[in-house]
Structure 1
Amino acid sequence: MKKNLFQKHLSITISTLLFTSTALLADDVEKIDSVTIIGNESSNYLSKEKLSLNRTNINIEDTAKSIQVFNEDFIQDAQIQNIEDIIKMSSNTVYTGDTDGKSTNISMRGFSGVPILIDGLILTNKIAHPEVFNLQSVEVQKGPDSLQYGQSSPGGLVNLVTKKPVKENFTKIEFAVNDNPSFSPKLDIGGSINEDKSLYYRLISVFEHDKGWTNSNTDTNKIFIAPSISYDINDNNTFTFVSEYTKEKTPTGFGSNINSKGEFVASLEHVTSHPDEEYEKTQKVLGFDLDSSFNLWNSNLRYRYTNFVRDYGDVYLPLFYNEATNEVTRFSADQRGEFEEHALQYSLNKEFTIFGKKNNLSLGADYNKAYSKGTSRIALSSLSNINLANPTYEDKIKSIDEFSSVRDMSSDKTYVKSWGMFLQDNIDLTDNLIFNTGLRYSESKPQNGKKSDALTPSFGLVYKITPQTSVYTNYSESFTPNSKLDKSNNILDPEEGKGYELGIKQKLFNDNFNLTAALFSIEKVNIALSDDSTIDTNDYVASGKQTSKGLEIDLVGQITDNWSLVASYGYTKTENKDNNNLELRNIPSHTANIFTTYNLSSFNLPNFYVGGGARYLGSRYADDANTIKLDSSIIYNATVGYKKSNWKVNLSIQNLTDEEYVDGSASGSTSDTRVYVGTPRTIMANISYSF
């Protein structure tokens, strides 16, 4: 690792920051309620903000769904660097890798393919690890639900809420380092431009330089900038322009390998490709929101344009692993992807009374057109082996053009067009009983393919036993278009998810703490399987079936004025009905998470806090045949910090015991034992000043 020399300097720097912070701190400044940057010394992880995930504007307690919100206080205190580390704090949720840097893969309640929305919009192609510093909160909704957002996983969906313009002037300067080594200066600035505060803005900017913890010779360098501006047209209408620019260069990351016993076969530092490889990503986002709000109705119109380019250049791609020789066979290739996307969404909510019953009626429509173009060439004669335990790399990366036999697998620019519309009503049947019902029609069509469409209903009941206690139940459906064809050359019916859920929501500790518990049963059908009635291996039938059942508990909030906590436990039992009821790959039966902080005011240290956490990841299978089993793991974190008015200092250790563990396997095949591994022990320090 590239840590030894830097650790000495880092420890000196951290010690200096912690022991001299008292002298550096200025007097208290006035707190701004609308900006959480200059907040209280004690954190509260219970979000009080309006839920962005729900296009109906219904409160969480009135929704017949299990929903968790992770706010900025939690993200900052836990020193979370990647969105997957936030998302997997929710029960029955696991991160399974990033497809070699191409996507963030989340499985929930046993099912993969969980979509990650940004500000309530589904974007098909986007950067794998979006900037956490730009997030206000992360929202997680469980269960199959295509009602409001279209195609989805039966497990649920995630929404990333980005920071928006604010009217009160503020500036936050932050500097973060870790022992890789890395450093990252960050800036968050916003406020009003004119006297009546009708024109206001926000600017988020991050630069990151990271040496990394593997034996790659390529450093991570990232520039991120996100300017946005809002204009209050009048008392009822606000127009917001948003934009983002990300340019990032990282090492390639094709994971590591395990043997048939689920054990690592080499040091996790060793890359399986070549240390000089570079992976470049550039993403540009432009868009707007038009929000209208009146006494009994409101609406929102959103549009985003995304341009995303990812370029591996010349790489050595791992093909398969030979356990007898402990060697990985690789081949040379070059890969580049170019993506464009237009996403448009409109939502309208109207409150009215009919037959003495209060109704919250919602209707919405959305449209998406996603273009893609891929350049991919592989050298058929370039196979080479590398010993993982003692790798000897080539002197330089050989260009694909230097090989005599090259297969061009590039694709022309094509698009997929999809649209949908939904109608939903939330009816107060009595003062304590709420009925949720809705129906959506969705359609998806590739440029050179046949369309898929689906009708997806959703029903739910919420009964408020007391103002603090409610029970709920729901039935909902999801769909995902199939890309496979049957023997008549017709596209298969979409995959469908059907789920039942029964749960309870409880407010505790003066309504500063929420508990959500649920039982669920989900069935996924129309999974593409090879058609045994024909000799053509490219013919499929939509007859596959998978199931998931389980329970979960999620806790979040403030137990006392000094003690805050986020915790969860989940149990999932999965079965692949077409594969002898075997368990689904990458899905543990048990997961558990906890992160807590305690302000030391009772010890006459009101500006200091300590905290820590642990994540339990149960044993699970790395292959579809359930022959390679991964051991369970516990990953510990610890943190200590100082907060006073406009200063904040934090020191944390992630993966305290340096546990070696697998996030997820890259393939369900026993011949490809490539896995994505968890980050080793990392020491991080962060200091910020807000004014």
Structure 2
Amino acid sequence: MRFKFSCVGMAVVAAISSMPLAAEQVPEDIERISVTGRSFNDYKTGVASGAMRGDINLMDTPQSVTVIPDFVTDEQLATNLAEVLVNDSSVTSGSEKWNRQVFNIRGFELDSGSGYLINGQQQWSHYVQPIETLQQVEVLKGPSSMLYGQSGPGGLINMVTKKPTYDTLFNLGFDTDDNGSTRFQLDAGGSLNEAQTIRYRTVLVKQDTQYWREYQNGENQERDRWLGYLNLEFDITDDLLLSLKYDRTQDKTGIDRGGWLNSKGELIGGRDIIWDMPWAFTDNTIENLGAELTYFISDNWKVKAGYNDQQFNRQRLDSLPSLIKGSEDPFTDGYTVSPFDRYDDWQHKTGFIDITGNFSTGFLEHQFLIGANMLDYYYGQLREKGTSVSVMPGQPIANPGLDYHNDTSLSESDYKHYGFYIQDLVTINEQWKLLAGVRYDEQKKDGAGNNSYAVSPKFGVIYSPMDNGSIYVNYSKSFSPQGSVNDPNDVNDKMNLDPEYGEQYEIGTKWELFDGGLLLTGAVFDITVSNVTVTQDLGAGESITTQSGEQHHKGFEMGAQGRLSDKWFMTGSMMYLDAEYDRPAEDSLNGKTPIDAPEWSANIWTRYEMTEALALNFGAVYVGERFADKENMITKDGYVRFDLGAAYTMDVMGTDVSVRVNMKNLFDKEYLAGGSNTDVTVGEGRHVSLALEAKF
């Protein structure tokens, strides 16, 4: 790939790289911990529960992990998962059409069914995940099949929800922006009895979003979302804890599939235009009902079991606009609208049981885990298609009045997945630790040849030359079943596909400075995936899906997170990525780079406390040049986006009230975000948000 590195982009990377040097120059001051202000824990979290399926310190985790706490994303006034994950440069965004978000980790796209976890359990994530219920987001990088079974080679996103509190918590929030969007939030918790053995946490959200892009009749895309979340904890005995969780999301929005790019990578029709019809929409209803039971056998051993039932229903009335084949000028040649009404029913049931314990054998100390988990997946679809018509831009097309109930042919699929795993983190002495684990997976699906089996090992070694630093190496594998080709226009329709297998070698280092206030990380990785599934367009409405060759991604990443001084905090990262397909020489994709896999990416977000009441923020995001098509003929330019923010906190009649103003894309940079040449997300221009929060 030809790489274009702007001077500003280089400045962002240089700023991140120089943080350790700047940090070293800050004198040690043991009195720092008594200074009034934010603690380093607001920006730095020492534990990622999903990385080892337990509360093991990041320094003892031989894996690259980024933890993004809610304090940081609240500062940024994030409203969706994409705005959270921008804090880790190893994660890049893909398409955002149909009111869902696609992400890549280390250049590999995350699967909706196996790439996302909530509290360590896989969730069907074919929608915009609510973030108001989250305490932190963990980016687990590299293959994680040893602990979670079927998953991709790039990594996983684990979303950790807010927990009940012993003390009374009652926060009210409101935010708005220059488009007229509004969001109301309630976050409350506390004990329900005097003994504090019954506790709760609840979150309520009402959001009305006005998007900046316009349909061709002058209307803006809108979104209406409700969210309710309740988590109850019961101390049944001193040793037995029961947790019950329920959440419901109702999310309806108009459709904006994104922009079209011509062969030169230029946006067709400008930044503002939406090619979908204003009557097109998606309406999602998602419910999660879960329970966890934790039994403390002794001070060193516990058993934890959990179950979650996710019901996801969606209606999608789509106008499905597309360019006329061979045309790049819809204003002259028109374009095609192919409406359909579709109903989707996803049911995602998960369960697990983990036994964890600490024990010694001679001079060796063990942090031991043995467990099993399962997934029961069902999908059903009804769909009624309308008649395709050619239209000119601005030409009104009436709602075709389709109704998916008219389709009597129900399309269904289901499978069951089981896994058993064992892991041991062995402490040999103060300098050396050894991690070893293995998992057996079995996926059962109706039909001959559809069952899949896999054994996924993981090994790691940690060397700690000093108390505040570690160097590690690891080896891990991923396992991702592919099912069969299900497309009547595909040459290989109904062909059973083999699982994709990933293999990673990683070496990294982690250091804590300033009394543990600042965490510095670095990692070099090499990932190879075999049996890569690729679908190519053959023209004339036909395609072909094949599995051959490999996909090879290698690179390095750096990160810094925490406190630089009593008043200065930061989080930032950068990544270099070399990604390409390694396929037979005659294959057109051989040597090509996957879509949305930039060679360089970086980000930084800082907080400086001017006074105890006033804090200023500065941030920057750099994403390098990327390809927008599999054949690497169309590129999207790299860009740098700068953000600013300020917050003021005051006491109003005994209540802490904070006011925050953020400006995103300070210099109104025009840029293209994730997505291919047919569904690219267009970056928003300068954008101002205002938020109020009261803590009672």
TM-score scaled by length of structure 2:
0.86
1:165–1:201 contact (8 Å) kept in structure 2: yes
Q: Does 2:157 align with 1:158?
A: yes
Q: Does 2:114 align with 1:111?
A: no
The one-letter amino acid of 1:110's match is: G
Shift of 1:212: 2.0
1:215–1:275 contact (8 Å) kept in structure 2: no
In the TM superposition, what whole-angstrom CA distance separates every residue of 1:135-157 from its partner, at most 9, and x where no partner exists? Answer: 11000111112111111111111
C-alpha separation between the residues in 1 aligned to 2:140 and 2:344? 30
The one-letter amino acid of 2:317's match is: G
The one-letter amino acid of 2:364's match is: K
Partner of 1:276: 279
1:66 to 49, 64, 70: 64
In the TM superposition, what whole-angstrom CA distance separates every residue of 1:578-622 from its partner, at most 9, and x where no partner exists? Answer: 223111211100000001010003xxxx21011111100100100
Shift of 1:496: 0.5
Matches for 1:72-87 after TM superposition, within 5 Å: 72-87=70-85
SS in structure 2 opposite 1:147?
helix
SS in structure 2 opposite 1:84?
helix
Partner of 1:4: none
2:512 to 507, 514, 519: 507
Q: Does 2:491 align with 1:494?
A: no
In the TM superposition, what whole-angstrom CA distance separates every residue of 1:14-57 from its partner, at most 9, and x where no partner exists? Answer: xxxxxxxxxxxxxxxxxxxxxxxx99498830114563443143
The one-letter amino acid of 2:79's match is: Q
SS in structure 2 opposite 1:285?
strand
Partner of 1:312: 316
Matches for 1:28-427 after TM superposition, within 5 Å: 40=38, 44-48=42-46, 51-101=49-99, 103-113=100-110, 115-123=115-123, 125-126=124-125, 128-216=127-215, 217=219, 219-293=222-296, 294-313=298-317, 315-318=319-322, 322-326=327-331, 327-379=334-386, 381-387=387-393, 391-394=394-397, 396-400=398-402, 411-427=410-426
C-alpha separation between the residues in 1 aligned to 2:564 and 2:573? 15
Report sequence identity in percent: 27
Q: Does 2:672 align with 1:665?
A: no
2:336–2:388 contact (8 Å) kept in structure 1: no
Partner of 1:476: 476
1:319–1:331 contact (8 Å) kept in structure 2: no
The one-letter amino acid of 1:569's match is: M
Shift of 1:58: 2.3
CA gap of 1:541–1:641, structure 2 versus 1, over 3 A, is closer
CA gap of 1:665–1:275, structure 2 versus 1, over 3 A, is same
Give structure 2 stretches of 5+ with no counterpart. Answer: 1-35, 486-490, 537-541, 584-588
In the TM superposition, what whole-angstrom CA distance separates every residue of 1:300-341 from its partner, at most 9, and x where no partner exists? Answer: 211111111111235344365621445432212112211112
Q: Does 2:452 align with 1:455?
A: no
Partner of 1:11: none
CA gap of 1:540–1:682, structure 2 versus 1, over 3 A, is closer
In the TM superposition, what whole-angstrom CA distance separates every residue of 1:427-460 from its partner, at most 9, and x where no partner exists? Answer: 1122210101111111222344621111111000
SS in structure 1 opposite 2:413?
strand
SS in structure 2 opposite 1:243?
strand
1:546–1:575 contact (8 Å) kept in structure 2: yes
C-alpha separation between the residues in 1 aligned to 2:668 and 2:347? 40
2:289–2:308 contact (8 Å) kept in structure 1: yes
CA gap of 1:490–1:82, structure 2 versus 1, over 3 A, is closer
CA gap of 1:212–1:308, structure 2 versus 1, over 3 A, is same
2:384–2:403 contact (8 Å) kept in structure 1: no
Partner of 2:628: 622
CA gap of 1:530–1:636, structure 2 versus 1, over 3 A, is closer
CA gap of 1:324–1:77, structure 2 versus 1, over 3 A, is closer
C-alpha separation between the residues in 2 aligned to 1:43 and 1:423? 31
The one-letter amino acid of 2:109's match is: S
Shift of 1:129: 1.4
1:99–1:105 contact (8 Å) kept in structure 2: no
2:646 to 640, 648, 673: 640
C-alpha separation between the residues in 1 aligned to 2:195 and 2:433? 41
C-alpha separation between the residues in 1 aligned to 2:267 and 2:314? 29
CA gap of 1:79–1:487, structure 2 versus 1, over 3 A, is closer
C-alpha separation between the residues in 1 aligned to 2:349 and 2:581? 36
C-alpha separation between the residues in 1 aligned to 2:524 and 2:359? 33
C-alpha separation between the residues in 2 aligned to 1:459 and 1:225? 41
SS in structure 1 opposite 2:693?
strand
The one-letter amino acid of 1:128's match is: Y
Say how many residue pairs are matched. Answer: 630
Partner of 2:694: 689
CA gap of 1:304–1:488, structure 2 versus 1, over 3 A, is closer
CA gap of 1:320–1:660, structure 2 versus 1, over 3 A, is farther
CA gap of 1:94–1:453, structure 2 versus 1, over 3 A, is same
1:257–1:673 contact (8 Å) kept in structure 2: yes
Q: Does 2:524 align with 1:519?
A: yes
SS in structure 1 opposite 2:213?
coil
C-alpha separation between the residues in 1 aligned to 2:504 and 2:451? 25
C-alpha separation between the residues in 2 aligned to 1:159 and 1:89? 15
C-alpha separation between the residues in 2 aligned to 1:652 and 1:417? 46
Shift of 1:267: 2.8
Partner of 2:556: 551
Shift of 1:186: 0.7
Deviates further, 500-509 or 210-219: 210-219
1:600–1:610 contact (8 Å) kept in structure 2: yes
1:612 to 615, 618, 621: 618
C-alpha separation between the residues in 1 aligned to 2:283 and 2:321? 16
Shift of 1:643: 2.6
1:127–1:308 contact (8 Å) kept in structure 2: no
Deviates further, 641-650 or 234-243: 641-650
Give structure 1 stretches of 5+ with no counterpart. Answer: 1-37, 532-536, 667-671
Shift of 1:297: 1.1
SS in structure 2 opposite 1:61?
helix
